[in-house]
């Protein structure tokens, strides 16, 4: 027996289907060989099916964290934050002014958080709630 979707899940699924079918129909409309006559229904069905399958495959890759490292927004954000924090630490070390340990706490915390985010990104086998 199928489970009842939650309200939010239904809204998201509806929007995804709307976008995916819209993209597929745009491809059909831009094809000069298809006149959208009843005889062309098979060709339209083929294009829509392929477009929907391609789009859903891309969304599945994103939803399951299966995208390559260079496309991972988590990895990109963590690396940028870590580079920024490392720059701040280097500046504190080389500025010629005696610094208190408290001044290092924020950038060190960001470095630890970035490492933790990267670890979580690559150690996770499936997304939360899956």
Instruction: Report the alpha-carbon distance of residue 59 to residue 51 in Å, rounded.
Output: 12
pLDDT over 50 (residue 23): yes
For 24-42, what is each residue's pLDDT tens digit? 777 777 777 777 676 776 7
Please report whether residue 1 resides in a domain: no
Please report whether residue 2 resides in a domain: no
Instruction: Report the alpha-carbon distance of residue 108 to residue 129 in Å, rounded.
Output: 31
Please report whether residue 28 resides in a domain: yes
pLDDT over 90 (residue 86): yes
Q: Which two tokens stand for residue 104?
A: 């290092």
Give yes or no: residues 99 and 81 share one domain.
yes
Res. 1 pLDDT band, cuts 50 70 90 = very low
Q: Identify how many contiguous H helices and E strands the chain contains and give both numbers.
A: 4, 0
Query: Which domain, by its residues, includes 105?
Result: 69-123
CA distances, 116 to each of 22, 79, 82, 112, 123 (Å): 39, 11, 11, 6, 10
The domain boundary residue, chosen from 63, 86, 110: 63
Q: CA 75, 80, 81, 83: dihedral to nearest 10 degrees? A: 120
Give me the number of domains the chain comprises: 2
Give yes or no: residues 12 and 42 share one domain.
yes
pTM value? 0.53
């Amino acid at each position: 027996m199928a489970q009842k979707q939650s309200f939010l899940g239904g809204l998201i699924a509806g929007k995804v289907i709307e976008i995916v079918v819209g993209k597929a129909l745009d491809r059909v409309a831009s094809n000069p060989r298809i006149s959208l006559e009843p005889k062309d229904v098979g060709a339209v069905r083929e294009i829509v099916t392929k477009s929907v399958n391609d789009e859903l495959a891309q969304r599945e890759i994103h939803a399951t964290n299966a995208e390559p490292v260079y496309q991972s927004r988590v990895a990109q954000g963590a690396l940028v934050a870590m580079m920024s924090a490392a720059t701040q630490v280097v500046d504190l070390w080389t500025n010629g002014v005696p610094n208190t340990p408290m001044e290092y706490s924020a950038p060190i915390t960001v470095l630890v958080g970035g490492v933790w985010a990267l670890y979580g990104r690559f150690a996770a086998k499936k997304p939360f709630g899956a």
